[in-house]
């Protein structure tokens, strides 16, 4: 017998409350009233905070409050007589379920960008408002171009959603603590030395760090200001010489962190950022193009400085993990894999027993991870989709949508965890009962693409875009595809979605040894089922006998079996079968010793060679 789900009272990591779209009409009307008061004809509401973060604090959830849409990416444009929510391929099914489509048109990004929708709907002489803290210089330039062509104008204003948001949450005040050098693998002083060398090479005198992920990495700190990612919100000004200055939102700074940073940086309240920027007269300041707000650029220039908008050098440094971070990732994946296997073994019995719901599965997996030790948070809200809900790529279960896991269906669960030594992200699709021939065909095609990425060998300098097609080819052969990237970068006890590296049609950054990415092709039959298979992989050098060029490949970090009931062996090439069998043997060898006898027996069956 396998383990039962742990049952002990503890705080849950995610909410299952229903979205607030029922109030969307009155909230949008309140916003329109504020527009009239300010002499505006429209307002742009991006899903962003002032750092362009994916996960934002409660007081920055403006798009969700206004529309009910809870996805991690999207833009609403509210005009007086029309309104639209533009979302990418991950949310084209979710968004119409969450918003009032009678007042807000859901527009797929593949059909129209926010700028294109504005061009088609904004009339001549109308004025569109925007919050300069929520737009980068590049995004504002795109907005200005399209509005100007339409004969209108843009105007910077304080955020009008905040003006009508009754009961808006207070800013976060989570603890900000030291992340030990033993896990970071490099001291903050040494990291700042590398950053300063990059600034000198680029002809800049200072750097404004606007990305909290980069702030956490550069100063070896972690915080608790947002869900799922251990960030301390704020900024830093790093001169080429002298003390750095950190401006943190949270006043709850551990004295040990102040002491550790005292030789290289002073910690100040976020409210003093304007004074810090005002001191940059005559200074050429690098401002990150991806996360630096228009407001920062304007304040630097108003002080008499020069805003050099470009890449924050920290982003590329952070993406390449050092030996300590890689060791931590491997350790975290063994711990996480043990918990996931316990869950999958439990799920096999619970799903067939009847009565299991999507929320119950999420809670059970959280319990297994918590019992495994050192769990700090889940790395994103778990996607737990049974049957047709699995076809919603970023489905987020709520009390209203919670659905029973039913025999004859597929169940997709995409989850991850934050441990002090690493961040995980894994998706498994499992059969409940006997799968159909179509399910087995589609699953095996997805698996073939997944294995193609795992086995890929490629020259130094190869980008994610150049190998993205490897994951899609088996689906393309059947006239199928999926509408999301194949892989995203992953941080080291930081964001589960970390750039600049990615495996996607738009992945233009060369992959380097030490980068961690996901490998997650999928297939989605709308209204029926979804399939996704995801492991995390580490880019590593790959020696090729007789090869003429330096090559790279992937080490698979994630450890958990694929559902053999969904694999159609006749669709696999011999080398694919061999890779799957070798991976399953590795999973069994790495995890068996940490399992009880019943779960160990389940794992033996789940990882048996495909020809048995």
42-97 pLDDT, tens digit per residue, is: 999 999 999 999 889 999 999 999 999 988 899 999 999 999 999 988 888 888 88
Which tokens is 428 given? Answer: 């498994």
DSSP category for residue 569: G
Structure-token match 């991806």, residue found: 290
Cα-based torsion angle of the residue sequence 270, 271, 272, 277 in order, rounded to the nearest 10 degrees: 80
Domains and CATH numbers, the chain: 21-164 (3.40.350.10), 177-318 (3.40.350.10), 323-606 (3.90.230.10)
Q: CA–CA separation, 252 vs 230, rounded Å?
A: 14
CB 128 within 8 A of CB 155: yes
Model confidence pLDDT, tens digit, residues 495-554: 999 999 999 999 999 999 999 999 999 999 999 999 999 999 999 999 999 999 999 999
3-state secondary structure of 27: helix
How far apart are alpha carbons 268 and 270 in whole angstroms?
7
49, 98, 350, 401, 496 from 395: Cα distances, Å: 22, 11, 22, 10, 17
Query: Which residues does the chain have with pLDDT short of 70?
Result: 1-12, 18-22
**SS3 for 121?**
helix
What letter would DSSP give residue 65?
Answer: H
Q: What are phi and psi of 114, to 5 degrees?
A: -55, -40
Q: What's the CA gap between 338 and 579, in Å, rounded?
A: 21
Residues in the chain: 612
Other Cβ atoms less than 10 A from the Cβ of 378: the count is 23
* Residues 6+ positions from 414 with CB-CB distance below 8 Å: 382, 383, 425, 426, 427, 532, 534
Q: Is the dihedral of CA 466, 468, 471, 473 positive or negative?
A: negative
Question: Please, where are the H alpha helices in 437-541?
Answer: 437-455, 464-476
Helix (H, G, I), strand (E, B) or coil at 15: coil
Cα–Cα distance for residue pair 484/494, rounded to 1 Å: 22
The residues near 522 (Cβ < 8 Å, ≥ 6 apart) are 393, 446, 482, 484, 530, 531, 532, 533
> What's the confidence (pLDDT) of residue 12?
63
Residue 126: count of CB within 10 angstroms of its CB: 18
Among all chains, which residue has been given the structure tokens 């750039």?
499
Q: Which residues contact 119 (CB under 8 A, 6 or more apart)?
A: 146, 149, 150
pLDDT value at position 4? 59
* Distances from the Cα of 500 to the Cα of 46, 109, 230, 456, 513, angstroms: 21, 21, 19, 20, 14
Nearest residue to 190 (alpha-carbon basis) of 181, 202, 199:
181
User: Can you tell me whether residue 21 is helix, strand or coil?
Assistant: helix
The DSSP secondary structure of 186-247, one letter per residue, reads S-HHHHHHHHHHHHHHTT-SEEEE--HHHHHHHTTEE--SSSSS----EEEEEESSS-EEEE
d(CA 414, CA 430): 11
How far apart are the C-alpha atoms of 480 and 115, rounded to whole Å? Answer: 30
Q: Is the backbone peptide bond immediately before 500 cis, with ω within 30 degrees of 0?
A: yes
CA atoms within 13 A on the CB side of 404: 9
Say if residues 130 and 44 touch (Cβ distance below 8 Å): yes
Q: Is 424 exposed, middle or buried (0-12, 13-18, 19+ CB in 10 A)?
A: buried
């Amino acid at each position: 017998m396998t383990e039962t789900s742990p049952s002990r009272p503890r705080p849950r990591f995610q909410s299952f409350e229903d979205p607030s779209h029922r109030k969307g009409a009155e909230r949008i009307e309140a916003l329109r009233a504020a527009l009239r008061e300010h002499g505006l004809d429209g307002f742009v509401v991006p899903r962003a905070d002032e750092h362009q973060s994916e996960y934002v604090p409660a007081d920055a959830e403006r798009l969700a409050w206004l529309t009910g849409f809870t996805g991690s990416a999207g833009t609403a444009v509210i005009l007086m007589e029309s309104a639209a929510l533009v979302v990418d391929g991950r949310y084209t099914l979710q968004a119409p379920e969450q918003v009032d489509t009678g007042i807000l048109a859901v527009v797929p990004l593949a059909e129209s960008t926010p700028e294109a929708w504005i061009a088609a709907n904004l009339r001549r002489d109308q004025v569109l408002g925007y919050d300069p803290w929520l737009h980068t210089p590049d995004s504002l330039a795109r907005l200005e171009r399209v509005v100007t062509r339409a004969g209108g104008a843009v105007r910077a204003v304080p955020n009008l959603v905040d003006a009508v948001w009754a009961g808006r949450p207070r800013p976060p005040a989570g603890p900000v603590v030291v992340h030990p050098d033993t896990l970071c693998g490099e001291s903050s002083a040494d990291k700042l030395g590398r950053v300063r060398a990059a600034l000198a090479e680029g002809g800049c005198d200072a750097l404004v760090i606007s990305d909290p992920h980069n702030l956490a990495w550069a100063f070896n700190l972690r915080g608790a200001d947002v869900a799922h990612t251990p960030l301390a919100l704020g900024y830093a000004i790093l001169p080429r010489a002298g003390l750095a200055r950190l401006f943190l939102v949270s006043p709850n700074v551990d004295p040990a962190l102040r002491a550790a940073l005292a030789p290289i940086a002073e910690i100040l309240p976020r409210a003093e950022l304007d004074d810090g920027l005002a001191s940059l007269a005559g200074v050429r300041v690098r401002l990150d193009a991806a996360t630096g707000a228009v407001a920062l650029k304007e304040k630097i220039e108003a002080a008499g400085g020069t805003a050099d908008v470009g890449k924050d050098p920290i982003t590329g440094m952070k993406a390449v993990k050092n030996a300590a971070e890689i060791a931590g990732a491997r350790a975290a994946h063994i711990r996480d894999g043990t918990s996931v296997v316990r869950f999958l073994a439990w799920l096999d019995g619970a799903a067939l027993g009847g009565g299991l719901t999507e929320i119950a599965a999420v809670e059970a997996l959280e319990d297994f991870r918590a019992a495994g030790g050192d769990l700090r948070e889940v790395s994103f809200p778990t996607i737990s989709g049974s049957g047709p809900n699995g076809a919603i790529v970023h489905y987020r279960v709520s009390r209203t949508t919670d659905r029973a896991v039913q025999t004859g269906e597929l169940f997709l669960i995409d989850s991850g965890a934050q441990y002090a030594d690493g961040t995980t992200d894994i998706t498994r699709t499992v059969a409940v009962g006997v799968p159909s021939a179509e399910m087995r065909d589609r699953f095996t095609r997805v698996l073939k693409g997944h294995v193609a990425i795992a086995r890929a060998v490629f020259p130094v300098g190869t980008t994610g875009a150049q190998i993205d097609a490897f994951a899609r080819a088996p689906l393309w052969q059947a006239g199928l595809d999926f509408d999301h990237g194949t892989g995203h970068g992953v941080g080291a006890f930081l964001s589960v979605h970390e750039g600049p590296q990615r495996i996607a049609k738009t992945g233009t950054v060369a992959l380097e040894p030490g980068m961690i990415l996901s490998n997650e092709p999928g297939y989605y039959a709308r209204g029926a089922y979804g399939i996704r298979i995801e492991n995390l992989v580490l880019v590593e050098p790959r020696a090729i006998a007789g090869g003429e060029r330096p090559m790279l490949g992937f080490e698979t970090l994630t450890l958990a079996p694929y559902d053999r009931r969904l694999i159609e062996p006749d669709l696999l090439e011999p080398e694919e079968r061999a890779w799957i069998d070798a991976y399953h043997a590795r999973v069994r060898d790495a995890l068996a010793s940490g399992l009880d006898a019943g779960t160990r027996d389940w794992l033996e069956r789940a990882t048996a060679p495909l020809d048995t």
